[in-house]
Amino acid sequence: MIVAGNDREYSMKKYDIEPLANAHCQTGENPLYDERRRQVFWVDIPQGRLFRYDLASGEWEKIYDDKLVGGFTLQENGDLLLFRDHEFAVRRDNGEVVMLADDIDASTGRFNNVFADAEGRVYAGTMGQPGSAGSGGLFRVDTNGAVIRLWNDTDCANGTGLTPDGKQMYWTDSTGGIIYICDYDRTTGALSHRRVWKRFAKEDGIPDGMAVDTEGCVWSAFWGASCVRRFSPDGELMEEIQLPVEQVSSLTFGGDENNELFITTAGGRDGSDSADGTLYRVRVAAKGQPAFRSKIG
């Protein structure tokens, strides 16, 4: 079905929306696909829980229940690098958690969305402090563990992704309803010339997590709008996937052909029989770019 939207006509295809795991996540977030083990990981941020879904068996389990985790990456050696309140630590396969850095500048709020680049660095966004507009921002963690603050003049950090040529990086400010684009230097990790790529109205919902496909199109989850939307590299709306819950938080590509979207949602609570907080899978025609792994010492 073709729908007339604010941008232009766009596709409302019929998709098979497959629920994989209802962990009743209060804020399900940061899905990551591990192609080596054919598993999907995701976190329930405020509950400090981390889950794993196995594609081969169709079973899922909780593998971490501790401090709040705002986001995480897969390390090159298979560990999980957990960005917690104002610190980051690694979770080994045996469940052991080892602190790497703590007491990171708390003025920009807790960590909320992280992304590894091709060199193994991590870009870690923050929430900002309640009642303090523009106090959120972005840190870069280099492979030697050095933490560099890149900016702190935005609010709630969310989806991040690279263009297929590796020359530009997208970054989402959910509070402002803006997806920015920056010039990206792979050699140094520097970000420059930050500018607005697309600005959204309140009625569009809140742009949250994102992924970029091999054609350079941006897939963004929209909190409060029950959907994932795909945009062309020029920012034109191309298609929309409707989900059965309102708070759609993030997504990642995965599966054997890298054409499956794993989508996290929020609003769940233990003991509820609602679908809020479920992890979903949707097969699409596009293919995602392989996710990079962090290499933080």
Q: For the chain, which residues make up each domain, given as ranges?
A: 2-283
Predicted local distance difference test score (pLDDT) of residue 1 = 42
pLDDT at 12: 62
Considering just the CA atoms, what is the radius of gyration of the chain in Å? 18
Q: Is 117 one of the catalytic residues? A: no
CATH of domain 2-283: 2.120.10.30
Q: Which of 34, 173, 208, 276 is catalytic?
A: 208
**Dihedral angle computed from the Cα positions of residues 95, 101, 105 and 111, in that order, rounded to the nearest 10 degrees:** -30
CB atoms within 10 A of CB 134: 16
Spatial neighbors of 36 by CB under 8 A, at least 6 apart, are: 78
- Residue by residue, pLDDT tens for the chain (297 residues) are 444 455 545 556 779 999 999 999 999 999 999 999 999 999 999 999 999 999 999 999 999 999 999 999 999 999 999 999 999 999 999 999 999 999 998 888 999 999 999 999 999 999 988 888 888 999 999 999 999 999 988 889 999 999 999 999 999 999 999 999 999 999 999 999 999 999 999 999 999 999 999 999 999 999 999 999 999 999 999 999 999 999 999 999 999 999 999 999 999 998 889 999 999 999 999 999 989 999 998
pLDDT at 9: 55
Q: How far apart are CA 30 and CA 107, in angstroms?
A: 23
pTM of the entire structure? 0.95
DSSP string, 126-148: E---TT-TT-EEEEEE-TTS-EE
Tokens of 144: 């030697």
pLDDT at residue 126, as a whole number: 95
Tell me whether residue 1 is exposed, middle or buried, using C-beta atoms within 10 angstroms of its C-beta: 0 to 12, 13 to 18, 19 or more: exposed
Sort 169 into a burial class: Cβ within 10 Å, 0-12 / 13-18 / 19+. buried
